[in-house]
Amino acid sequence: MNNTETVLEIRGLQAGYGATPILQGVDLTVGKGEIVALIGRNGVGKTTTMRCLMGLLRTRGGGIRFLGRDIETLASDARARLGIGYVPQGREVFPRMTVAENLMVGELIGGPRGRKQPELVYQYFPRLAERRDQLAGTMSGGEQQQLAIGRALVGNPALMLLDEPSEGIQPSIVQLICDVLRAIRRDLGTTILFVEQNLDTILDVGERAYVMEKGRIVGRIEPGAMNAQAVREHLSL
């Protein structure tokens, strides 16, 4: 795997809600084709980091570079069109739209890397193919999570951001999601940054990890040290 090309670089990122500062100088880098976990206990700023990366929360300082371009002033839809796919915590599918219509939204806002790929999404997630005409709001949580990932994937993004993809999902679906994340990196060269609390998911998918505490990156777990003991001490258990 070639990590010489930097896909995502964050330097000194600061953000918060109202008068409350949350991120207090976050620094991290993700190379092309990497699958990197962002871990830490609840409330340390992981979701806030993801929201800043996608342009859903205004930053107060620092910089975000995607494929060598400064993007911190861009709106979220512009970031999506540049090639960033986002799967938020809680899934957030469009409940009154069908599976196929949800994927069409992803096609409309997806990135520039070649053709859109709804059929590939159906290949990775056969359940969605079976239910392409079903309203998303009537699907199970695990099916909705597959759809949320598919909607982010359909535009063929260079970078996928996932916020707790295993949360509230039955183990068999979590395993499917892990398999798909590895497959899209293998098949498409997609770079992945994900937030996760589930130890098994982190170890199954993550190649290395950044550790966050109190709005800062305080440590790294390198590929040779990604084991249960190293990860567990940084999770809310």
The pLDDT score that the predictor gives to residue 4 is: 61
The pLDDT score that the predictor gives to residue 3 is: 44
The pLDDT score that the predictor gives to residue 2 is: 44
Indicate whether 1 belongs to any domain: no
The pLDDT score that the predictor gives to residue 175 is: 96
The pLDDT score that the predictor gives to residue 107 is: 79
Please say whether the beta carbons of 121 and 103 come within 8 A. yes
The pLDDT score that the predictor gives to residue 92 is: 85
Report the distance separating Cα 154 and Cα 223, nearest Å. 29
| pLDDT string in tens for the chain (237-residue length) | 444 699 999 999 999 999 899 999 999 999 999 999 999 999 999 999 999 999 999 999 999 999 999 999 999 999 999 999 999 998 789 999 999 999 988 877 766 665 567 888 999 999 999 999 999 999 999 999 999 999 999 988 999 999 999 999 999 999 999 999 999 999 999 999 999 999 999 999 999 999 999 999 999 999 989 999 999 988 854
The pLDDT score that the predictor gives to residue 237 is: 45
The pLDDT score that the predictor gives to residue 143 is: 95
Indicate whether 83 belongs to any domain: yes
**Helix, strand, or coil (residue 11):** strand
Report the distance separating Cα 133 and Cα 219, nearest Å. 45
| Residue 143 CB contacts under 8 Å (≥ 6 apart), including other chains | 127, 128, 131
Indicate whether 163 belongs to any domain: yes
Indicate whether 84 belongs to any domain: yes
The pLDDT score that the predictor gives to residue 197 is: 92
H-only helix segments in 87-188: 99-109, 118-124, 126-130, 141-153, 171-188
User: Please, how many CA atoms are within 13 Å of residue 226, restricted to the half-sphere of its CB?
Assistant: 20
Domain count, the chain: 1
The pLDDT score that the predictor gives to residue 111 is: 60
Indicate whether 37 belongs to any domain: yes
- 61-66 and 69-70 beta bridge pairing: antiparallel
Indicate whether 237 belongs to any domain: no
Indicate whether 91 belongs to any domain: yes
Instruction: Please report, for the domain that includes residue 39, its CATH number.
Output: 3.40.50.300
Indicate whether 152 belongs to any domain: yes
The pLDDT score that the predictor gives to residue 127 is: 95
Please say whether the beta carbons of 234 and 39 come within 8 A. yes
**Residue 81 belongs to what domain range?**
6-232
